[in-house]
Amino acid sequence: MTEKLVERFVTYIKFDTQSDAYSQTVPSTQNQVEFSKTVLMPELEALGLSDVKYHESNGFVTALLPSNTTKKVSTIGFLAHVDTADFNGKNINPQFHPNYHGEDIVLNAEENIVLRVSEFPNLANYKGQTLITTDGTTLLGADDKAGIAEIVTAVDYLLQHPEIEHGDIKIAFGPDEEIGRGADLFDVADFAADFAYTMDGSRVGELEWESFNAAQATVKFKGKNVHPGTAKGVMINAMTLATEFDRRLPNKEVPELTEKREGFHHLMGMSGTIEDATLLYIIRDHDREKFEAKKQLFDTLAKEMNAELGLDNVSVLLEDQYYNMGEILQKDMTPVHLAQKAMENLDIPVIMNAIRGGTDGSKLSFMGLPTPNIFAGGENFHGRYEFVAVESMQKAVDVIVEIVRLSVDL
């Protein structure tokens, strides 16, 4: 099973499936469509799954492993996303490191790109295991091709072992998670699962049922340009206004100075001239009241600066992106407790932290499908230093199978 798991993973990562935040299509890139239709669908059909479909309306591939028991059993879903993050995902060349020695790994000698233990002490956890890394020029794509490979491998195992009783098992692989809109059009009613799991976490043991509340803030500034020689009392520099706005935000509530359950605002982009400037922020907090207060601060600062100018030159557009799925899951912790029991049965220490981010489950839970997040095994996602251990992926497969096995006794 492990050999096939690795083979699938390597096949999947060879396809460039980066999403595009500036695209208005669904999915946002044609590469995701091609991967779903030419790789995933044929494989699921060849395994013998039922109802294999590509949904043109939302870009998801779905399939069913039918129940093989007469017991009344919950229908469980497993989901992963096909897109990769905004980092080079073309021509991925995975490097295998069997029996990892615990020291620095030279990813690319020619360009002096080194995966250093001093920078990534998490490497110490993988001594003796088989690591898969990049060649230093691309990301790896374990986020979330590892999740896809794990789900497909687990379903393959269940098909080969009909003695394991289970109810209906639904699987779904969707687009555009990395740009925050993959789950927006997912048809929860059609999927018809009682609860689900995204296989989209990082290190072994992660079981996440809380996420950030998330919003995006676009702040626009209007200026007035005149000749600098006669500018006194007349010129208004939009870029200076933007700088002043950012200065007034709490300077310690930024990603590089926060951790655990501490929220933040994060300046993602800026552009400008004297006439017009724009700042793009994301706002994050696990606590809904603190989240709302952070958003309110943006409006308050804009009003203060406009009052000082005596003009309406600063405007804020706030757009909520997703909410803390813990608000939904805490009402019925059955899926969380089931995954926890599965990991405990497999002697996997459970790491139950609030995600400093979001998953498709953040939206799906509010859409009526309670969906905690389980580890996929990779680390250092979204860049050239990404890696995954073969043993970690196998443990994720084992957890899926154990969840299914335990579910008949719920």
Which residues are the active-site residues? 83, 177
Amino acid, res. 136: G
CA gap 320, 342 in Å, rounded = 34
If DSSP states are collapsed to H, E and C, what string results for the chain? CHHHHHHHHHHHHCCCCECCCCCCCCCCCHHHHHHHHHHHHHHHHHHCCEEEEECCCCCCEEEEECCCCCCCCCCEEEEEECCECCCCCCCCCCEEECCCCCCCEEEECCCCEEECCCCCHHHHHHCCCCEEECCCCCCCCHHHHHHHHHHHHHHHHHHHCCCCCCCCEEEEEECCCCCCCCCCCCCHHHHCCCEEEEEEECCCCEEECCCCEEEEEEEEEECECCCHHHCCCCCECHHHHHHHHHHHCCCCCCHHHCCCCCCEEEEEEEEECCCEEEEEEEEEECCHHHHHHHHHHHHHHHHHHHHHHCCCCEEEEEEEEECCCHHHHCCCCHHHHHHHHHHHHCCCCCECCCCCCCCHHHHHHHCCCCCCEEECCEECCCCCCCEEEHHHHHHHHHHHHHHHHHHCCC
**Which structure tokens are listed for 358?**
């979001």
Nearby residues of 380 by Cβ (< 8 Å), 6 or more positions away? 120, 122, 386, 387
Q: What is the dihedral of CA 66, 71, 74, 78, to 10 degrees?
A: -40
Scan for tokens 């794990």, then name that residue: 150
CA gap 110, 191 in Å, rounded = 48
Scan for tokens 């269940």, then name that residue: 158
Closest-CA residue to 151 (of 396, 406, 403): 396
- Largest Cα–Cα distance of the chain, in whole Å? 86
